Amino acid sequence: MPKDQGIGASPKRREDVRFLTGAGNYTDDINVNGQAYVHFLRADVAHATINSIDTSAAAEMPGVVKIFTGADFAEVGGIPCGWGVTDRHGNPQQEPRHPIIAHDTIRHVGEIVAAVVADTLEQARDAAEAIEFSLSDKPAVVDMAAALAEDATKVHEDLTSNLCYDWVFGNPDDDAVQAAFDSAAHVTTLELVNNRLVANPMEPRVAIGDYSRATDEYTLHTTSQNPHVIRLLMCAFVLGLPEHKVRVIAPDVGGGFGSKIFHYAEEAFCTFAAKACGRAVKWTSTRAEAFISDAHGRDHVTKIELALDGDNNFTALRTNTMANMGAYLSTFSTSVPSYLHGTLMAGNYKTPIVQVNVKTVFTNTVPVDAYRGAGRPEATFQLERVIDKAARELGADPIALRRQNFITEFPYETPVALTYDTGDYVATMDKLEQVADVAGFAARRAESEKNGKLRGFGINCYIEACGIAPSNIVGMLGARAGLYDAATVRVNATGSISVMVGAHAHGQGHETTFPQVVADMIGIDESMVDIVHGDTGRVPFGMGTYGSRSIAVCGSAMVRATEKIIAKAKKIAAHLMEASDADIELKDGQFTVAGTDKSVAWGDVCLTAYVPHNYPLEELEPGLEETAFYDPANFTYPAGAYACEVEVDPDTGKVSIERFSAADDFGNIINPMIVDGQVHGGLGQGIGQALLENAAYDEDGQLLSASFMDYAMPRADDVPFYQVDHSCQTPCTHNPLGVKGCGEAGAIGSPPAVVNAVIDALQSGGKNVTHIDMPLSPARVWAAMNG
């Protein structure tokens, strides 16, 4: 095996050539013969009763094929929520109906109120302007605390309140937890906001529904991270179609970051409308629509308290969080502030008592769901901010305080239901101190001060639960799906291989990394292996890509299927060499009989499988194709330590990131180049959250930052070159590759380091600032300095 191939090598990405030459095949690049276009008329008020809709004039406009309103979907199911959380009293979450098109009530700006299908997009848009409405406005419920007030207007009249659930996790005994705080030597309290974000993958969502009368089959092309999940949800819960009559294809997808996991109304609409209109129906989101129809992320308000004993050991942690659900429950919405958040509150520390309290709240805003990290960034942010604040209050070194409280023995059972199988937080912190050149900070600070700038250094640790997820555990916790994955390895007669994988790549480079694994196991050239993904018509099954799960879960399925292939191939080789299977070895694509010079090549065995003239037909079926489903035994636990160095301009409050260093433990690594890239991207998003991004609503429920003019996306000059190290590797103990996943770490681990660094800078300048809510815009920093 050449050393630029196989596990641990960084071959160039094979998908790059098509992307670099304009030959990618994104959903909007696809056009179906005879397709019509849909324009969705979206609510421009946050909360209103729909008295009537008159589409008669619009229907007469040129090119109009058909106009749909909520009444057309009265017989169709609503968009389902994939996770049922049980509250602190044992009751189910409140779960409102989530219609494809608003029926009698508008509940957020951007909700679909009518859909116009026409020959051209321009005609559809023009006709939509002729639709007449009568609405009665209702007060908009925007602020979470106000939404929970006794007399608050209800987002859903048929629910008892705006509370989705009130949940407790960890130690539910309030008195015991309070006793731990009462006996503490020191308690640090922090109230903070985890700012609401818009994922904004650069490719807006697109859906093309098509229906064949000849075969009674539907095809949906969609920008999805998980086409099989979309097919299942849409068929079983929304449209009531048999799955074998529906094919969902997610071709090249231009980024997702969670926002393309969920089943959206537009997908179901285009599928439904294709049959109703007798022709394919295409929808391409504008960026303006994306801001008000893609699920948003984060949006937590938290009070966190940390108790320490006289030796600075953490003795108890308690959090109270309100989490925004928006107007409806998106696919994974209810799992994010509960099981993807509460389970991570122990962090990297051996705090014996942890209590997490979460209230999820309905508001007249866009639904909120998973965004890169999903719950884990929210947990990490609170914990790493309160530890930093505690260090300052106690006059302790923030690194030493963390080190003192690290979990050091594995496996470790946390008080919040997880068992960390392996890790080495001391090693990643050692590595971070080196990569970040902690020793050189004082000199760099002096230099900045000479230039009239304040310089700050901030660190944080993080741990995440990835490789989502063991089906039996998540099932107990309310997941309405299994979270295994599947792979089929199809060996062709001439020895080349297609691997059908349930994971979906939308930037992660699976087309390069997955073949690295299979080729390495067999000892053949990577060019002989391709993967097939993103098409329910070609891939048997899969749960898709999110939660840093692709290599840990689907990759494990692929390994298992390849092991089956190798086992069968060895039997064929044994037959050809008249030896016993047990004596056959496979190395560099050659089967040999141990202790002899007999050998037969991979290609010959494959050919024999398909041309079985000399073949043990009584014992073995011809052919060489195997499938495996892999359900993980545990989550995986990537962890690490991050450091940020900022300069703050004391005159303007402008923060600039001067250095950012990351030391991660991802376990074993398939392709270091791609892992670096994943961390870089996460850091860019985390820095964006910390300094720039904010999805802000006004009190009427209008999204104020609803375009790239108003929503500050990180740009090239907002970020530095990053120092990224992943040489600390404690392999996962329960999956065959020893991998943990790396997709979300950067976004989870970076916001607290940035904020900690800014606080450090301000305090170094004599400002008594202990917290600023993200994003740390110049205005906010300046106000904090001068407040």
Give yes or no for residue 4 binding another protein (CB under 8 A): no
Spatial contact of 600 and 590, defined as CB atoms under 8 Å apart: yes
Give yes or no for residue 11 binding another protein (CB under 8 A): no
Say how many C-beta atoms besides its own lie within 10 A of residue 766's C-beta: 8
Preceding amide of 503 cis, omega within 30: no
Q: How far is CA 313 from the centre of its chain?
A: 33
Identity of the residue, 254 or 752, whose beta carbon is nearer to ligand FES in the bound complex: 254
How far apart are CB 313 and ligand FES at their closest, in Å? 44
Binding partner of 365, given ligand FES, another protein, none, CB within 5-8 angstroms per partner class: none
Binding mask 491-530 for ligand FES (x = CB under 6 A): ----------------x-----------------------
Picking from 693, 695, 696, 641, the residue whose alpha carbon sits closest to that of residue 664 is 641
**HSE of 157, CA atoms in CB hemisphere, 13 A:** 8
How far apart are CB 229 and another protein at their closest, in Å? 19
457 has which bridge partners?
A: 645
Cα angle for residues 631, 15, 495 (degrees, 5° grid): 70
Identity of the residue, 98 or 510, whose beta carbon is nearer to ligand FES in the bound complex: 510
Residues 6 or more apart from 485 whose CB is under 8 A from it? 501, 502, 503, 542, 543, 549, 553, 554, 556, 557, 629, 630
Identity of the residue, 221 or 389, whose beta carbon is nearer to another protein in the bound complex: 221
Report phi then psi at 209, rounded to 5: -95, 140
How far apart are CB 25 and ligand FES at their closest, in Å? 15
Picking from 259, 258, 292, 268, the residue whose alpha carbon sits closest to that of residue 207 is 268
Give yes or no for residue 476 binding ligand FES (CB under 6 A): no
Tokens found for residue 340: 């993807």
Report the length, in residues, of the chain.
Answer: 787
How far apart are CB 485 and another protein at their closest, in Å? 21
Give yes or no for residue 202 binding ligand FES (CB under 6 A): yes
Among positions 659-688, residues that touch another protein (CB under 8 A) are 672-674, 676-677, 680-685, 687
81-94 core/surface letters (b: 16 or more CB in 10 A; e: else)? bbbbbebeeeeebb
The correct pick among 311, 717, 768, 786 for binding another protein (CB under 8 A) is 717
Among positions 696-725, residues that touch ligand FES (CB under 6 A) are none
Give yes or no for residue 129 binding another protein (CB under 8 A): no
Residue 79 per-residue DSSP state: P
Residue 669 per-residue DSSP state: -
Identity of the residue, 252 or 664, whose beta carbon is nearer to ligand FES in the bound complex: 252
Give yes or no for residue 470 binding another protein (CB under 8 A): no
Spatial contact of 553 and 737, defined as CB atoms under 8 Å apart: no
Among positions 226-255, residues that touch another protein (CB under 8 A) are 252-255
Choices 22-30, 312-320, 436-444, 516-524 (CB under 8 A): range interacting with another protein:
22-30
Picking from 58, 74, 73, 179, the residue whose alpha carbon sits closest to that of residue 123 is 58
Give yes or no for residue 24 binding ligand FES (CB under 6 A): no
How far apart are CB 284 and ligand FES at their closest, in Å? 12
Binding mask 183-202 for another protein (x = CB under 8 A): -----------------xxx
Distance (Å, whole) CA 378 – CA 751:
10
The correct pick among 63, 255, 523, 672 for binding ligand FES (CB under 6 A) is 255
* Location of structure tokens 């089967």: 591
Give the interface with another protein as residue ranges (CB under 8 A): 10, 12-13, 15-24, 26, 28-29, 122, 200-204, 252-255, 257, 286-288, 506-509, 672-674, 676-677, 680-685, 687, 707-709, 713-717, 719, 721-725, 746
Give the interface with ligand FES as residue ranges (CB under 6 A): 202, 254-255, 507
